[in-house]
């Protein structure tokens, strides 16, 4: 009996543990196809076909991403009635408010001199309730701003693929933004 126990220890004890490969969640999203959006307001743009536009009052629009459980909120301001400086300060305050838990903020700027359009897209890296903020303006008459919100707890590591996917849609929105 003792020989059997010793033999079992030798056989089972001599095996070295096999390391398991690190696994990551592989989220894949379809290649975006874009549709043209316009409404009674003075702006138009292209948006991802996975998003469902919902027009709100006061020229606001929500692009609902049901597959991502996210919404991109767009708000339009007429610069003949609002101050660009005040709107840009409000944009900075929003970044400060949502960026409290941020590790960093990545900014990409956009400029189209032919259309007299410039803008900025900020991605907040960290556990923020809203990781993408952007604006586009002609600095004279029109200002469009937006924010991405997920209907889930803010966990940047889990949401990063979806944030990057929508960020690319925001860049396309800014590139195709036109004023009537």
Q: What is the pLDDT of residues 100-143, one digit of tens each?
A: 878 889 999 989 998 889 999 999 998 888 999 999 999 999 99
**Which of 23, 58, 63 lies closest to 41, judged by CA?**
58
Domain ranges (residues) in the chain = 43-179
Look at the pTM and tell me if it is higher than 0.85.
no
Beta strands at 178-179 and 34-38: parallel, antiparallel or unpaired: unpaired
Phi, psi of 146 (to 5 degrees): -155, 160
H helices present in 43-113, as ranges: 84-98
Measured between its terminal Cα atoms, the distance across the chain in Å is 91
The total of other beta-carbon atoms located within 10 Å of residue 84's CB is: 17
Are 126 and 55 in contact by the 8 Å Cβ rule? The answer is: no
- For the stretch 62-104, pLDDT in tens is 999 999 999 999 999 999 999 999 999 999 999 988 888 788 8
State the architecture of 43-179 in CATH terms.
3-Layer(aba) Sandwich (3.40)
Q: What confidence score (pLDDT) does residue 60 get?
A: 92
Segment 144-152 mean pLDDT: 94
Mean of the per-residue pLDDT values for the chain?
88
Task: State the residue for tokens 């991109």.
Answer: 72
Contacts of 53 (CB under 8 A, 6+ apart): 37, 47, 61, 62, 63, 64
H helices present in the chain, as ranges: 2-13, 84-98, 156-176
Segment 27-36 mean pLDDT: 90
Report which of residues 34 and 27 the model is more confident about.
34
């Amino acid at each position: 009996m003792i020989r059997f126990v010793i033999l079992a220890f030798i056989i089972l004890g001599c095996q070295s543990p096999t390391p398991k490969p690190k696994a990551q969640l592989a989220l894949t999203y379809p290649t975006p196809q874009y549709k043209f959006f316009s409404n009674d307001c003075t702006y138009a743009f292209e948006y991802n076909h996975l998003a469902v536009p919902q027009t709100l009052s006061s020229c606001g629009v929500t692009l609902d991403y049901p597959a991502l459980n996210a919404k991109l909120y767009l708000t339009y301001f007429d610069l003949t009635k609002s101050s660009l400086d005040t709107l840009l300060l409000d944009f900075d305050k929003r970044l400060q408010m949502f960026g409290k838990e941020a590790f960093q903020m990545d900014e990409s700027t956009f400029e189209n001199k032919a259309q007299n359009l410039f803008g900025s897209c900020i991605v907040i890296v960290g556990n923020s309730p809203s990781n993408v903020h952007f604006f586009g303006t002609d600095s004279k008459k029109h200002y469009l701003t937006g924010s991405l919100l997920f209907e889930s707890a803010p966990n940047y590591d889990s949401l990063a693929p979806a944030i990057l996917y929508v960020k690319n849609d925001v860049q396309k929105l800014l590139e195709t933004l036109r004023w009537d």
